[in-house]
Amino acid sequence: MELPIQPPYPPSEARSVNEIPRGADWLYEPKWDGFRCLAFRNGKEVLLQSKAGQPLGRYFPELVAALADLPEHRFVLDGEIVIFSEGRLSFDDLLLRIHPAESRIRKLSAESPATFMGFDLLVDSQGKVLTDLPLKQRRQNLVQLFRRFPAKGTVRLSPASTDRKQAEQWMRELGTLGLDGIVAKRLDEPYRSGQRTAMVKIKRIRTADCVVGGFRYAEKGGGVGSLLLGLYNDQLLDHVGFTSSFTAEQRTELKKIVEPLIGGPGFTGHAPGGPSRWSTRRSSEWQPLKLKLVCEVSYDHFSGDNFFSRGHCTSLSNCFYSGRTTKGKSAAFFARGSRT
């Protein structure tokens, strides 16, 4: 592919902050709940690259075709692949695309077509590299490029605003639209490939009290590796994820707490499985517990298959251990729908 920027090319990244930044130097954008993607086009050749530098084209043939049909024949776009379902973003539909069978992917691409939301332009239609320009100029070039594209096509311009009130409105509408949060970018910064210095992200973090239905031992050290979390569904405790971000001291402390509870019913509904596409090394061996321990966790997403998740991982890996209690509460308190 004859372009001045070649794949794999590390996209710019954002660091997490707790508050939307203020000031005239910021551009605010929705944070799409999808797959980060760089789209390379040279003639009829199109390549989609993931954040990790892996090819994505085989999983989204409809996007490859749409990008190849655009009137401009050369560009490199930074954006996000999303799927809309009933007016909301559906990350679960995206996950279904990561499938080995081409026939399955073709079927899903027809039933639930993906959309590419473009939010930065790295190489323009003349083959000029724009990464050294400030974002303010790159955004102007991006808008001009998209004026030549179909307005309601599969490849769309991601909205952006310098008005903080608009960012606050997007933040309020996260639940309705299925957005992942807000991104704020410095207007005077060049494109920082592989760095987290030019933009920040703000996510809505929620909390939930979950029943600890079991645990797994750590691979090293003999402490607790992860707590397996559950919520009640029709009086049955379903496994909904795990939390594992503990210090070495906490792992030892937790071992003393959970080992006396070994031997209980554990998960009476959906139980934990073994290795998955997200964690091929995970052991299927776990210890069921008496249902007396509660753990408060924080999370940013609860997927359609009833699992806490963050990004691509169907797990509670993004949740942190913030406390425990053995005070009795009714099963209804820990039922689905009690998350805040």
pLDDT at position 282: 46
Tokens of 294: 């509660």
φ, ψ for residue 335, nearest 5 deg? -85, 165
pLDDT at position 214: 94
- Apex 58 CA angle, 54 and 62, nearest 5: 120
Q: What is the distance between the alpha carbons of residues 107 and 61, in angstroms, rounded to a whole number?
A: 11
Q: Give me the residue spans of the domains in the chain.
A: 15-202, 206-334
Q: What is the distance between the alpha carbons of residues 3 and 12, in angstroms, rounded to a whole number?
A: 19
pLDDT at position 284: 54
Cβ neighbours of residue 320 closer than 8 Å, sequence gap 6 or more: 243, 245, 297, 298
Task: Look at domain 206-334 and name its CATH class.
Answer: mainly beta
* Structure letter (DSSP) for residue 165: H
Tens of pLDDT along the chain (340 residues)? Answer: 899 999 999 999 999 999 999 999 999 999 999 999 999 999 999 999 999 999 999 999 999 999 999 999 999 999 999 999 988 999 889 999 999 999 999 999 999 999 999 999 999 999 999 999 999 999 999 999 999 999 889 999 999 999 999 999 999 888 788 888 999 999 999 999 999 999 999 987 777 788 899 999 998 888 999 999 898 888 899 998 888 878 899 899 999 999 999 999 999 998 987 444 434 444 458 999 999 888 887 777 666 555 665 422 233 333 334 444 434 444 444 554 444 4
- Apex 148 CA angle, 145 and 152, nearest 5: 105
Query: Which active-site residues does the annotation give?
Result: 31
Residue by residue, what is the 3-state secondary structure of 258-297? HHHHECCCCCCCCCCCCCCCCCCCCCCCCEEECCCCEEEE
Q: What is the distance between the alpha carbons of residues 194 and 327, in angstroms, rounded to a whole number?
A: 46
* Closest residue by Cα to residue 157 from 169, 172, 141, 174: 141
- Long-range contact set of residues 254-262: C-beta below 8 Å, sequence gap at least 24: 254/215, 254/223, 254/224, 254/227, 255/222, 255/223, 255/224, 257/293, 257/324, 258/212, 258/215, 258/224, 258/227, 258/287, 258/289, 258/293, 261/289, 261/290, 261/292, 261/293, 262/287, 262/288, 262/289
SS3 9: coil
Task: Look at domain 15-202 and name its CATH class.
Answer: alpha beta
The residue type at 146:
F
Q: What is the distance between the alpha carbons of residues 138 and 187, in angstroms, rounded to a whole number?
A: 9
Query: Do β-strands 236-243 and 206-217 pair in parallel, antiparallel, or remain unpaired?
Result: unpaired
Total-model pTM: 0.74
* Closest residue by Cα to residue 27 from 167, 204, 172: 167
Burial 66-76 (b: 16+ CB within 10 A, else e): bbeebeeebbb
Tokens of 247: 């210090």
Count of beta carbons in the 10 Å neighbourhood of residue 20: 18
Angle, nearest 10°, between helix axes 102-111 and 61-68? 70
